Structure 1
Amino acid sequence: MGRAEKEQLNRTLSQHLNTIHEILEVLDQNPPSTVEKVSWEDVIQMGNQVSKQATIVGMIWSGERVEARVIEENMTAYFNMLQSFLLLSHGSMVGAGPTLSSCVHASVKQVVDSSFKLMKESVSLYGAVNKDWKSSIPQLAGAVWEACSALKKTPAANVTAIGRAVTQVAVTMKDVLREMKELKPATDPTEDEAEAEIEPHDDETSSDSDLGNDLSPEEMKVAELAIDAVSETLVVMKELIRTITGLLKRENPNDSSLVDSLEKLLKMCQGIGEQIDELGACLYPPQEVSTIKTIVEKMSSLADDMKAELQSLGGNLEAFIQACDCLKSSLRRLDSAVDCPTTVDLENRVQKIDLNN
């Protein structure tokens, strides 16, 4: 009898899972603009209902014995709730751009994944001894609660989602800047020997700690100018975020043309972020001069593109334009620095002249 009941539970679970997967395929496509948009608050409220249903699952398994009928009834109620949650989530994506859609999909996926784990475990544990479910079921129900609670932090508008994405790019830039500031010039060999005699240490620790500490004076100058350029880029990002925040006050911040422009700006920011990440890697000796020059050129071009895109949106852009001008000035100084021949380069050229003579 117990085996037949478990097989029935597995069939029921499989049917529900297939239905949810079909709905998820629909969610991959944004709804047409003609569909009435669902408020994200409604999605959050339905998420609360899913969370409560998960709590009920935990309560069901708190007893000494759980009947198959109770599990099946609860499973059906749970998946009906989950379907409603998914349909409302889909309705909330009317007019959503790629960034907002990505945020919604990520939040929904957390709820679905945690729900699947809870329901699969609930069926799997049917017929098991009490101690097996005492720890797993409450933990999985808690994961659903956390996923549903996280819906409150999901952006409800395109401008908000894009603003957060730009902020995340800026955070990554700060990490690269911090690593750049750890670069140090090469020390006098005699000082290293004296330090080693006073405080001996193993070779492995020494090689790790000295990484990036052997820049020549010329290379250190390039690193310092690169640090200035990244610092100026962060000012540009700050002004961009401030400008995007101001766009929230517009009558229709979800206007499709505005969203398209903001998505373009985000891609430009991400492009600059990628260049800065590469720049950080190029500063370790031997410095890759040609790559640095290419990076400078790309960053300058992207800064111009960002300025042009923002100007098309209108508004007070004086602070942003000033930040862009400062960035371009710092990039020109960096470009000039890598153009300057180092002492080693001059010595090599002199040697070639002597050989030719």
Structure 2
Amino acid sequence: MKITVLNIIVLLFALAACAQEDLLQKTENDLLLQNLFDAGNNDAVSCYRIPAIVTAPNGDLVAAIDERVPSCGDLKWSKDINIVIRRSTDLGKTWTEIERVIDFPFGQSASDPSMIVDEETKEIFLFYNFMDLEKEKDVYYLHYTKSADNGKTWSDPVDITAQITKPEWDTDFKFITSGRGIYTSTGKMLHCMVNLSYGVNVFGSNDHGKTWYFIDTPITPADESKIVELEDGSWMINSRVNGKGMRYVHISTDEGKSWQTRPESQLVDPGCNGSIIRYTSVKDGDDKNRLLFSNAKMKDARMNMTVRISYDEGETWSEGKTIYAGSSAYSSLTVLDNGDIGLFFEKDEYSKNTFVSFSLEWLTDGEDGLRKSKN
């Protein structure tokens, strides 16, 4: 066969099409899943884990994750974990190549990304946990980096360990929970920090990240947790609790000085990190208050990634819709600029990390749609 330029072009297009098919998967519900981070396509990386996603101030999407190089082990057992991102400028249809945001020398690792968007300064804060396994094995440090240009460039790391933990916790198993924190209606940034010996504590900033504080009111039972602001200004934390088969909810009406705790039997959970975000608010001119929650909806297995909706500030939840029935674990939700819902989650026993988006109409089988209040 004579090789011509046309033959080569046709071959390249065919290879590109095959690669694209490898990245996309259509579900039974006609959702298009995009595999953003897949270690099977990278011989130099053992696995990608711990997804986090936010919508940047300009509407771009920023998806962050651990790049676990020598093994799939967590921070305490790996000397080379980096934080990497991909960005999308078109609501998740296409994505940039993988970019390393945090890359320390071998022996020092960074893990468990989470983000907060400061709605006033338009900065994105990206938090992670750090360990120097060569010099200070078992000592966890808590850092952040930030971006003022919607995730294109990032600042040097800032260590806030001393501001948001106690000195006696030096060698305790402590970490900022992955996924995301919140920017409240009063201008606070709030996030959750876990100490497995004590519980979960809220930390935050009232000055756009110049300084950080720690609220010394531990919450139990709780492991990896997410905080959301309720319509009346209360704070609600939704927590992973291992071995219970369900989530736990903690509510504070006094900015974290005290908490009321209850098991949430509606939210079946195998002991895995989930995601909860505010979708709409009457205070912002929407017709209804809506919260969204995602997790692996099973009591004893990390499977059945599901998204649910609540119209009464988390008192009751819909049965939800299955996004992916197979193996699935950690997840992170965001609201896209066009009002659609974005979900970034681990699937197929962590081998793939997948993005999907869908409308409120799809989630509610046409029973609900986005409308502004008439008032």
Query: What TM-score do you get using the length of structure 1 for normalisation?
Result: 0.23
Structure number with greater CO (CA < 8 Å, separation at least 6) is 1
Structure of greater Rg: 1
Higher percent of residues as helix = 1
